Amino acid sequence: MTTSVDLVVIGGGPAGCAAAVMATSVGMTVTLVDPGFQLGGALWRIPTIQNVLGGHSTGPDLAKAIIADVDRTHATVIQATAQAIHPSDQDVTVDLADGTMIVGRHAVIATGVRPAQPDDVDWLFAAAGTVLTPLWAADPAYADGATWQVLGADRPLGTFLRAHPDLDVRFEVLYPPADEYKTHEVRDDARVTLTRVERHSLDPDVASRSVDPGKAMIFANLGVMPATIQGTQPADDGYCPPDAQHARIHIGGDLRSARGQRIQTAMGSGAEAALSAYYASRRIT
Ligand SMILES: Cc1cc2nc3c(=O)[nH]c(=O)nc-3n(C[C@H](O)[C@H](O)[C@H](O)COP(=O)(O)OP(=O)(O)OC[C@H]3O[C@@H](n4cnc5c(N)ncnc54)[C@H](O)[C@@H]3O)c2cc1C
């Protein structure tokens, strides 16, 4: 099946949703593609937010409001994974994982980031392809009285501790020197033991038990990697600078760079990406 629209938006987090809302507001036809069973992206993982205008104090609350905003538009939402994008002088063709394609005049790509895994970092040694449960997916229902090992000192650790101030959990955190500056946020919490390591080898048995969030005792907190798709023009670090892309591909949200990865910047840049597509399609410079 191939459909043709003014704008294909890939990724339904805050950036992609903002792009869809902005594009429909200026009269563009939009198809929004996201594999999740509901839109909102990383917002569903944020138990408390303090830096977003509008009065929402948790990520899920904001996600529900954004979904309602998208529902009020004429955007078509497709639950699918985009695998590749092929831009040409006339249009863009997006290949979906189920073998279908979508054709649009322009595309906004807002696929954000994914949790880094042992293969992505140089200080952890594990069997190739080892996948650990990310700390943001840890279920506090299993935490009471538990001791969990955390690999890496990225921000989700502080978020988890702030969201569950009374939880009786112990975190043994192994982190590389490069994460030193991130430890200040959790250093004073008595539930945390911080151990700086140059390198660490993962026990394969322990790692294999980490796939199920209910049974995991060890969690990845290694930062994030850009979730780009084939057909974009990534920089050396894997992120996709908006200025380096084909004229019909517009990038929004966390995928732009490792810096500025926040909800409001995602929404602003997603809306801006949609307007770039609109101006280009009207040849307005
Ligand atoms: C634990 C945690 C706490 C955070 N706390 C805060 C905070 O307090 N304040 C703040 O401002 N920011 C916070 N952030 C950051 C914030 O969530 C992100 O900056 C923001 O969600 C980025 O929006 P985005 O739309 O670019 O990407 P995302 O929200 O990551 O959305 C990307 C979407 O793209 C989809 N996608 C991925 N690949 C494909 C594909 N191939 N095809 C189709 N769709 C695809 C995904 O399913 C997802 O829905 C936090 C993030 C995390 C993980």
Domains 2-112+227-281 and 118-220 share a fold: yes
121-137 pLDDT per residue, tens? 999 999 888 889 999 88
Report the pLDDT averaged over residues 153-176.
Answer: 93
Q: What is the pLDDT of residues 168-203, one digit of tens each?
A: 999 999 999 999 999 999 999 999 999 999 999 998
Cβ density class 67-89: b for 16+ within 10 Å, e for less: beebeebebebbebebeebebee
Kindly give, in sequence order, each residue whose CB lies less than 8 Å from that of residue 93, ignoring residues fewer than 6 positions away.
85, 86, 101, 102, 103
pLDDT of residue 71: 98
Average pLDDT value for the chain: 93
Place of tokens 């801006």: 272
d(CA 259, CA 160): 22
Is domain 118-220 in CATH 3.50.50, yes or no? Answer: yes
For the record, the structure tokens of 144 come out as 């009471």
User: Does CATH number 3.50.50.60 belong to domain 2-112+227-281?
Assistant: yes
- The structure tokens 């048995």 sit at 205
Domain boundaries, the chain: 2-112+227-281, 118-220
Per-residue pLDDT at 1 exceeds 60: no
Mean pLDDT of 58-69: 97
Around ligand 1, the residues with Cβ closer than 6 Å are 10-16, 33-36, 41-43, 45-46, 49, 51-52, 81-82, 110-113, 136, 156, 159, 227, 229, 253-254, 261-263, 266
Q: How confident is the model at residue 143 (pLDDT cuts 50, 70, 90)?
A: confident
